[in-house]
Every structure is written in C-alpha cells, then in structure tokens.
Chain A
Amino acid sequence: MALKIVASQCTSCSACEPECPNVAIFEKNGTFVIDPKKCTECIGHFDAPQCAAVCPVDDTCIIDTSYPRYQPPA
C-alpha cells in the first residue's frame, strides 16, 4: 500500500511535500499528489507517515488500498 491524498480535502498548503523522505509528493493542478511508486509509507524512515502527521486536514493523507502493502527490502 501507498498513501494517497484526498484531492477534495487538500488545501494545497504544501506542508507535506518537503517532509516526504522519498520525494514522492508533488503538486499537480493545484493540489498535492503522492506517486504510489515512490511512497514507502515512510517504512524504514520514520515511525509514522510524515505526510499524514503534518497535514492540517484530518483524513486527507490516507492509505490507498488499491496498492499492495509496501515490502521493505530485506
């Protein structure tokens, strides 16, 4: 799984962008989006997904269940 940003809730504050350890977050058409190929759910970097921790709007950076759970390299 990766995280995704609920576009209708995103305020485009940009707070999440610099926090991502994988540079997975970028701006697109006025809101911010996560590249699911780059997102590791912050596993191996931090205890909690950074985007969700810094986002001012609750339930905006959420788990995207359409992707399989990220497997950290052994």
Chain B
Amino acid sequence: MDATTQHEGEAIGTPEKLAEIMQAKAEHQGCGTSGGSGKASCGSSAGQGDLPTEIWEKVKNHPCYSEEAHHHYARMHVAVAPACNIQCNYCNRKYDCANESRPGVVSEKLTPEQAAKKVLAVASTIPQMTVLGIAGPGDPLANPEKTFKTFELINRTAPDIKLCLSTNGLALPDHVDTIAGFNVDHVTITINMVDPEVGAKIYPWVFWKHKRYTGYEAAKILTDRQLQGLEMLTERGILCKINSVMIPGINDNHLVEVNRAVKSRGAFLHNIMPLISSPEHGTVFGLNGQRGPTAQELKALQDRCEGEMNMMRHCRQCRADAVGLLGEDRSAEFTTDKIMAMEVNYDLESRQAYQALVEEERVAKVAAKQAELESLAGEQSDIKLLVAVATKGSGLVNEHFGHAKEFQVWELSTGGAKFVGHRRVDLYCQGGYGEEDSLETIIRAINDCHAVFVAKIGGCPKADLIKAGIEPVDQFAHEFIEKSAITWFKDYLAKVKSGEIEHTVRGDAEIRQGALISAA
C-alpha cells in the first residue's frame, strides 16, 4: 500500500458531532468517580509473585505487561502520530514503526477525534478491551499534541480504559509532567543500548533541539535522554516497560548491560524482541543482510536477563493498529468508514460485569495449576524441556493443530510450567508456499519442543510430527494449559525413569518473521 493513500479517511466524520457525543457520555457517567481498574476482589491475587501490590494492581489487566492477563484481556493501538524524531536502522518509515509493528504494513493514520471514536466503538463491542496504546508509525512524543488530544478525549468518556504509550525516549523528559497529568500509567521506552558506541551502529541520526546529530554524538544524546526520562517516570510512580530489539553481533551481549541499567532505574519489565529483518522491508539492516536471532539465541538472552528482573515473553510485535487479544486481529471490523458510521453506546457497567467474570476464570485456572504443582513436589530431575501448545486463549488447550496460527511455548521442569514465548506458524510471509509446506513450517518453528498440545489433530500431521520427534498430545483438549503440561511432564519423567523412553535434547527453532496478524 502506498503511504499517500492514507489521508483519504480524514475527510470522513465530523469532529464537532463526535465531541458532542462524547461530552454527553461524559456527563452521563459522571466521570472521575468510576475509574474502574480491574474489579477483582480476590485477595489471593493470582500471579502477583513478588511484585508490590501497587504495581500488580496496575499490571494485572494489562495484556502487554501481565503474562497472564494477555490471555484474557485485549488491547488496541491507534496510530495518530506518524512523525518521528530519530532514525533506526531497522525502520523504514514508509511503513510502520518497527518497534511495535510488522514492517511492510501501513497502519491507518487517524485524527485524534477519529481515534477516540474508534476506541469507544471497539471497547463497546469487545468488553475485554481495557488498554489503549499510542504507538507507531512514528513517535507519539514527536507528535505530542495529537497524542495528548487523543488521551484527553478518551479519558473523558471512558475513564476505565488504561492509557499507555511507546516512545523512543528522545523527547520523553520534556513530556513527563504532561504524561503524569493524564494519568498515563504505562510507558514503554525502546532502549537498544546504553553505550553510544553500540548506539552509533543502530541509529544513524537523531533530530534534537533543531539540529540533526549523527554517529556517536546522536547515540549519546539518545541514551542520556532515554535514561533521564525513565528515571523521571519512575520517580513519579509511572510504570515503565523497556523494549529492546535484539540485533545479533551488534547489541546482543550488550543487552545484559542494558537490562542492568534499566532495572537500576526502576523499570519493572524488560521485553527483548528479535530483530525482524529482510531485504524487502527496505531497512538499512534488511538491505545489509543483518540477520535476526534464532529462537534459541533469543531465549538464552532472555534467560540471562531473567535473574535481574521480570522478562516479558509474550510480545508478538503486534501491529500498531491491531485490535484484539494479543495475537488476534479484529481490525477489519473497525475501519474508519465503519466506525464513523457507528452509533457508539459506551456501557461501563456491562464491561465491568464481563471483566469480573474473567477474573473468576483466572482464579480457577491458577487453583488448578496449584493442585497439580503440589503433586510434582516430590519429583527430582534435571530434565528441562519445551512443549508447544495450540490455544485460542483463556489459558486452555483449545485450538486444533491445523488451525493454529501460532503456538505458545512452555518450559517444563520439576519447578513447574513456565511460559517462555510464542511461535508463529501462519503462512503470512511465506509468499506463495503451498499447503504441503505448511506442516514443515510448523515443525521448523517448534523444532525445539518435545511435544505439542492440541485440542484435535489429523492422522497425517500426527505421523509426521512423531517422525520429527515431536509428540502430538491431544488427551488434554479444553483443559487448563499449565495443569495439563505438568500432568504430561510427570508422566514423561516416569517413563524416562522406567527406561521406557530416553530423554534427548532437541535442536534449535526458527523465528517466524513479523508480528502475528490474521491474513484476512
């Protein structure tokens, strides 16, 4: 798609009328009193771990931050801010911001009024939608007016929606107070380096204080501003997540140092994402052949950083204007034309009722896992292995093998089941490969797994999986993932012990290009 087609939508919709609707809604609800953030009354706080209660309250319903919430809650991003103030070698701004989205797909640019209406329309249709992000293409803080106008409009009508924004950090220190004023409690900063020598290989230039800086100097300004912005945010109690793009040979080992630097400044979550790079993206890295990491390299780095702080492993580099649960995209239902024609009736109460239900589901899931985990307590073994799970969400093994566009990967040990990431298997970037190849693609993507849990699977793929050394497991259809995985693992250990099977180590797997979207 050509970027020049993007502005056609802007003539549609009358901002005045929208403002009117939203004003009426705001009065109707009496905003301010109903700041509904996660109505869970459960004292057991499923999944809180060692996070302070205050932070847990903020993250538990945030699909991007809470490993658990992203199975149940949805987020959406709107793109209102196409301008950027730096250049990254992994970005071709003819397309989207590569930090947040799949290169090659242009997000729809919206005016703040259109964006606000879209958010309300989506939130009314999808009660799980609890988070709004402003992200690429571009840097939200290089377009502060548009970004903050959008927040203002949404804050007025839908006070229960959490606001978050992702930035490269260059302009961040200038806007921290505005951010705090808007009650934006989640900010994501993309930090790829804390050493300007490394930075000079990632950022050709930054535009700062009316001047274009290049090389070491540019990277020095950027890192100083990023870390300063991070400190200022955490001082004000605003949650900060750090995104880092892992670029083999450039910043892969250095990211351990980045991890330490951001942790000491109060970041609460670090998300290391693989570089997505291919010549057709037209990025510097794409053209000079810079490769992305393999699944094993990525996991090894995430593991190295994990002792230091919470790592986020469920990021799928969602498209900036994606709508839905992470990994699901319903944006086709909410195009600008459709939204501007929609009557939006924002019903806070039914949203909250729905969210209470989801809380119950989550508590049930954790209870099931707990019981199973206790039965594992007596086991002694050094075996650690990965399994893939086909799921549609809700923490259940509930997807058919053949329908899965991605698999969740869980690491099993006598310590329990740990979610370690996703593997895409959809054919989106395959470019014309036929059906026969799809099974091979899947096997390559989960080649490091010992088993794959599915709700159902056909005879043919079953045989091929077994041949590839991956056990297809379908007896846990529609059961909780963690509980099922632990049950299977206990059985596996028993078989190893009795000599029925021999434990072997699996090879590496391939990271599929790009973010997960449905090829609608």
Given A12-B82, A30-B4, A30-B6, A54-B207 contact (CB < 8 Å): yes
Contact across chains for B7 and A56 when beta carbons are under 8 A apart: no
Q: How far is the CA of A50 from the CA of B7 in the complex (A)?
A: 24
Given contacts A30-B7, A31-B4, A56-B93, whether A13 and B211 have CB atoms under 8 Å apart is: no
- The count of chain A contact residues (Cβ–Cβ below 8 Å) is 20
Evaluate contact between A48 and B6: CB separation under 8 angstroms: no
Interface assignment of B94: CB less than 8 Å from any CB of chain A? yes
Are A11 and B5 interface neighbours, CB within 8 A? no
Task: Please provide the chain A residues from 26 to 53 with a CB less than 8 Å away from any CB of chain B in the complex.
Answer: 27, 29-31, 46-48, 50, 53
A19 CA to B143 CA, complexed, in Å: 11
Q: Main SS of chain A's interface residues?
A: loop
Inside 8 A of A27's CB, which chain B residues have their CB?
7
Q: Judge if B84 is at the interface, Cβ distance under 8 Å.
A: yes
Interface residues of B in 99-133 (CB under 8 A from A): none
Known: A11-B93, A11-B94, A15-B84. A46 touches B210 (CB 8 A): yes
By beta carbon, the residue of chain A nearest B137 is: A13
Tell me which residues across on chain A come within 8 A of B7, comparing CB atoms: 12, 27, 30
Q: Decide if B85 is an interface residue (CB 8 Å cutoff).
A: yes
Bound-state CA distance A50–B143 (Å) is 16
B3 is an interface residue with CB less than 8 A from chain A: yes
Check if B212 is an interface residue, CB within 8 A of chain A. Answer: yes
Q: Is the CB of A47 within 8 A of B211?
A: yes
Instruction: Report the minimal beta-carbon distance from A54 to chain B, rounded to whole angstroms.
Output: 5
Residues in A neighbouring B87, C-beta threshold 8 A: 56
Q: Could you tell me the distance between the alpha carbons of A11 and B82 in the complex, rounded to whole angstroms?
A: 9
B63 interface contact, C-beta 8 A: no
| Structural contact, B6 and A56, CB atoms closer than 8 A | no
Q: How far is the CA of A19 from the CA of B207 in the complex (A)?
A: 11
A13 and B85 alpha carbons, distance in the complex (Å)? 11
CA separation between A13 and B82, bound complex, in Å? 5
Shortest CB distance B242–A (Å): 24
B4 touches A15 (CB 8 A): no
- Is there an interface contact between B6 and A54, defined as CB atoms closer than 8 Å? no
Give the CA-CA distance A15 to B3 in the complex, in Å. Answer: 14
In the complex with contacts A50-B210, A53-B211, A53-B212, A14-B83 CB distance below 8 A? yes
Chain A residues, Cβ within 8 Å of B82: 11-15
**Known: A50-B210, A54-B85, A54-B207. Is A14-B143 also a contact (CB below 8 A)?**
yes
Q: Nearest chain-A residue to B144 (Cβ)?
A: A18
Q: Is the CB of B4 within 8 A of A13?
A: no
Q: Name the B residues within 8 Å of A12 (CB-CB).
A: 3-4, 6-7, 82
A37 to B474, CA, bound (A): 72
Question: Which residues does chain A contribute within 8 Å of B84, judged by CB atoms?
Answer: 13, 15, 56
Q: Which residues 9-27 of A sit at the B interface, judged by CB distance below 8 A?
A: 11-15, 17-19, 27
Q: 1/0 per position for B1-33, CB-CB distance to A under 8 A?
A: 001111110000000000000000000000000
Residues of A within 8 A of B212 (CB): 48, 53-54
- B138 adjacent to chain A (CB < 8 Å): yes
Which residues of B have CB within 8 Å of A30? 4-8
B16 → chain A, closest Cβ, in Å? 21
Give chain B nearest CB distance to A3 CB in angstroms: 15
Asked if residues A11 and B210 are in contact (CB atoms below 8 Å), the reply is no
- Nearest CB in chain B: distance from A18 CB, A: 8
Which residues in B have their C-beta under 8 angstroms from that of A47?
A: 210-211
Q: CA–CA, A17 to B94, complex, Å?
A: 17
Minimum CB distance partner of A54 in chain B: B207
Residues on B facing A (Cβ under 8 Å): 3-8, 82-85, 87, 93-94, 137-138, 142-143, 207, 210-212
Assuming A15-B83, A48-B212, A54-B212, what are 17 further A-B pairs, CB within 8 angstroms?
A: A11-B94, A12-B7, A13-B82, A13-B93, A13-B137, A14-B82, A14-B143, A18-B83, A19-B210, A27-B7, A30-B5, A30-B6, A30-B7, A30-B8, A47-B211, A53-B210, A53-B211
Please list 5 pairs of residues, one from A and one from B, whose beta carbons are closer than 8 Å in the complex, sorted by A's number: A15-B85, A15-B142, A19-B210, A56-B84, A56-B93
- Contacts from A to B (Cβ < 8 Å): 11-15, 17-19, 27, 29-31, 46-48, 50, 53-54, 56-57
